[in-house]
Amino acid sequence: MLYAWCRHCDDVVDGQELGSSTVAPAGHDATRELEKLYEQTRRAYAGEAMQDPAFAAFQEVALKHAIAPRYAFDHLAGFAMDVEGARYQTIDDTLRYCYHVAGVVGLMMASIMGAKDPAVLDRACDLGLAFQLTNIARDIVDDARNGRCYLPAEWLQEAGIPPADLALPRYRVALSRVAARLVDHAEPYYDSAAAGIPALPLRSAWAIATARNVYRQIGIEVKRRGAHAWDERVGTSKTMKLWLLAKGGVTALTSRLASAQPRPAHLWQRPPEGTPEGTPEGGSAPPCSACNCRLRVAAEGAYRKPKETAPSLPATAWCMRWAWYSRFR
Q: Is the pLDDT of residue 205 over 70?
A: yes
pLDDT at 272: 84
pLDDT for 69-116, tens place per residue?
999 999 999 999 999 999 999 999 999 999 999 999 999 999 999 999
pLDDT at 310: 38
Q: Is the pLDDT of residue 35 over 90?
A: yes
Mean pLDDT of 119-140: 97
Least confident stretch, 15-19, 47-51, 196-200: 15-19
Mean pLDDT of 151-175: 96
Biggest distance spanned by C-alpha atoms of the chain: 57
pLDDT for 292-313, tens place per residue?
444 433 333 333 333 333 333 4
pLDDT at 86: 93
Mean pLDDT of 27-33: 86
pLDDT at 312: 39
Give the integer Cα–Cα distance in Å for 150 and 290: 17
Mean pLDDT of 185-212: 95
pLDDT at 261: 87
Tell how far CA 306 is from the center of its chain: 25
Mean pLDDT of 254-274: 89
pLDDT at 78: 95
pLDDT at 274: 58
Mean pLDDT of 165-174: 96
> Given pLDDT bands bounded at 50, 70 and 90, which one contains residue 170?
very high
Mean pLDDT of 207-212: 96
pTM beyond 0.95, yes or no: no
Contact 227, 176 (CB under 8 A): yes
More confident residue, 191 or 24: 191
